[in-house]
Amino acid sequence: ERKQSLQLGTKWKRGVPIEVIPMALSPIQRTLEHLFPEATIQLRIAQPSDKAGPVVTDNGNFILDCHFGPIKDSLSLYKEIKCLTGVLDVGLFCQMAKIAYIGHLDSNNGHVISK
């Protein structure tokens, strides 16, 4: 319920996760900054803070969290980022779900949104 909004990127402020290979980290960051100058792009750092360095995926890659603000066309954004050399995956799941189950914080009840 806390993430539900009319437009993607208006409530969830942690950004879209982008998995990149380590040797492509700097070029990908620069490319994203050039393509999306209004975006906030940060390397995800390991938590708790007693662990040093970035989050490393099971495949040995890094995660960039990119907050683009309101996203009008998530499929176009996904395609534009996914085609960059060194990007393995993008945390946008476009055209995959036909139904969304929305839970409510104050009860066990929820509602369903379908296409």
User: Has residue 83 been placed in a domain?
Assistant: yes
Give Rg (Cα) of the chain. 16
Checking if the pLDDT of 21 tops 90, the result is yes
User: Count of domains in the chain?
Assistant: 1
pLDDT in tens, 34-61: 999 999 999 998 887 667 789 899 999 9
User: Has residue 107 been placed in a domain?
Assistant: yes
User: Has residue 60 been placed in a domain?
Assistant: yes
| CATH number where 102 lies | 3.30.70.260
User: Has residue 11 been placed in a domain?
Assistant: no
User: Has residue 59 been placed in a domain?
Assistant: yes
For residues 21 and 88, give the distance between their C-alpha atoms in angstroms, rounded to a whole number. 7
73: containing domain: 16-114
Band (94; pLDDT cuts 50, 70, 90): confident
What is the pLDDT at residue 53?
Answer: 87
For residues 26 and 62, give the distance between their C-alpha atoms in angstroms, rounded to a whole number. 11
What is the pLDDT at residue 48?
Answer: 74
Q: Distance of alpha carbon 33 from its chain centroid, rounded?
A: 15
User: Has residue 41 been placed in a domain?
Assistant: yes
**Across 78-104, average pLDDT:** 87
**Across 18-47, average pLDDT:** 95
Strand, helix or coil for residue 111: strand
